[in-house]
Amino acid sequence: MENGDADGKPKRAAGRLCSICNQKKPALKRPKTLEQICRECFYSVFEEEIHNVIVDNHLFKPGERIAVAASGGKDSTVLAYVLSELNRRHNYGLDLFLLSVDEGITGYRDDSLETVRRNEVQYGLPLKVVSYKDLYGWTMDEIVKTIGLKNNCTFCGVFRRQALDRGAALVRADKLVTGHNADDMAETVLLNILRGDIARLSRCTFITTGEDGPIPRCKPFKYTYEKEIVMYAYFKKLDYFSTECIYSPNAYRGFAREFIKDLERIRPQAILDIIRSGENFRISTSTKMPEQGTCEQCGYISSQKLCKACLLLEGLNRGLPKLGIGRSRGPDRAKKDGKQRTLLSGVKGSDLQSKQCGTLDF
């Protein structure tokens, strides 16, 4: 089925040809440009645009050890595939490998880690798996057992945010790349506005962050539409896994997501425009910005003496799991509606609604 019309049904859109090659039947409408293009032209513009983003932003240097954050989901699967293609095609000279985090949630990672293990073979990229046990000394299941389900999202979000950085440091990567796409980026800009989080707003659209820290992070899919990522995976028959963290309902983010998708349907360009707005925000010099320091314990960026993760860990280790939860801000605030979700309703109600909590906080 690689070649467009193998099923011999040219009846639809038959009059029109691909607006790039003018020869083949178009297979999709690009949200970015509204062009109708065929599969082969889609593959090449999709890949070459990412290549241009990499080159224009000087994302990599030859010889670097690059950890591709791999969750087994669509974005990271396509990212791993495209990066290994481009690395070969354009001689980036990168030492690429897949990095996965095992949170230690019974049953949850089994399928997605299985997917990443298949990707390891399919794309010929070595895989490193680091567990929460390695990183924090606790599995997510053990944490939930200690604190109950009510506050687990605080842990889930905070630990997840740091897990990749800590994991990348543990396996001595030079850089970490993540699959955050244009839709994610637009959603994050919007969320930071909705939360009045000026500090995050000003840096959430950076293509590379943490350059002063131990592991810089970059996002080669910053301008890549989610629709194109999913279409690419579908046409190329890339193997990915789709389910949510069972501990992660996040209503607020869910609404922002829905809003972005509604806008996109009316005017797909809106996504790039929101990113551009984020990029062009200038913060007035009179705005008080939180001071950015590093955690005394682990070196992760933190405005306090201890970062949130270390504070939560201290609480867990001292048998005071509530330590650090009270002052939490951000996504968890949306949960203070008194509705405590049980594990079961979390599974049923949230798995299609929103992305994993914490995965998109920059």
Partner 1 sequence: MRLTLEFGGGLELLCNSVKIHHVDVDLKTGEDKLSMRDLLTWIKSNLIKERPEMFVKGDSVRPGILALINDCDWELCGSLDAVVEEKDMVVFISTLHGG
**DSSP assigned state of 288:** P
Q: Which residues bind Zn ion (CB under 5 A)?
A: 18, 20-21, 24, 38, 41, 153, 156, 247-248, 295, 297-298, 300, 307, 310, 357
Task: Choose from Zn ion, partner 1, none: what does 226 bind? Cβ within 5-8 Å by kind.
Answer: partner 1
Per DSSP, which regions of the chain are E strands? 28-29, 36-37, 65-69, 95-102, 127-131, 175-177, 208-209, 217-218, 293-294, 301-302
User: Kind of pairing, strands 65-69 and 95-102?
Assistant: parallel
Task: Choose from Zn ion, partner 1, none: what does 103 bind? Cβ within 5-8 Å by kind.
Answer: none
Minimum distance from CB of 264 to Zn ion (Å)?
A: 24
Q: Which of 268, 150, 280 is nearest to 205 (CA)?
A: 280
Beta bridge pairs of residue 301: 294
**With respect to partner 1, which residue has the nearer C-beta, 84 or 224?**
224
**With respect to partner 1, which residue has the nearer C-beta, 269 or 304?**
269
Residue 179 binds partner 1 (CB under 8 A): yes
The correct pick among 84, 100, 181, 188 for binding partner 1 (CB under 8 A) is: 181
Beta bridge pairs of residue 127: 98
DSSP for 169-197 reads: HHTT-SEEE----HHHHHHHHHHHHHHT-
Stretch that binds partner 1, among 209-217, 259-267, 278-286, 309-317 (CB under 8 A): 259-267
Report d(CA 307, CA 341) in Å as an integer: 27
Q: Which of 26, 28, 85, 3 is nearest to 227 (CA)?
A: 28
> What residues numbered 261-300 form the site for partner 1, per CB under 8 A?
261-262, 264-265
Contacts (Cβ under 8 Å, ≥6 apart) of 279: 205
Report d(CA 229, CA 232) in Å as an integer: 5
Task: Choose from Zn ion, partner 1, none: what does 261 bind? Cβ within 5-8 Å by kind.
Answer: partner 1
Residue 343 binds partner 1 (CB under 8 A): no
By CB under 8 A, the count of residues binding partner 1 is 48
> What residues numbered 1-40 form the site for partner 1, per CB under 8 A?
1, 4, 7, 9, 11-13, 16, 25-29, 36
Minimum distance from CB of 133 to partner 1 (Å)?
A: 22
Per the CB < 8 A criterion, the answer to whether 349 and 341 are in contact is yes
Query: What residue numbers does the annotated binding site cover?
Result: 69-71, 75, 101, 179, 184
Binding site for partner 1 (CB under 8 A): 1, 4, 7, 9, 11-13, 16, 25-29, 36, 71, 73-76, 179-181, 183-184, 226-227, 229-231, 234-235, 242-245, 257-258, 261-262, 264-265, 348, 351-353, 355-356, 359
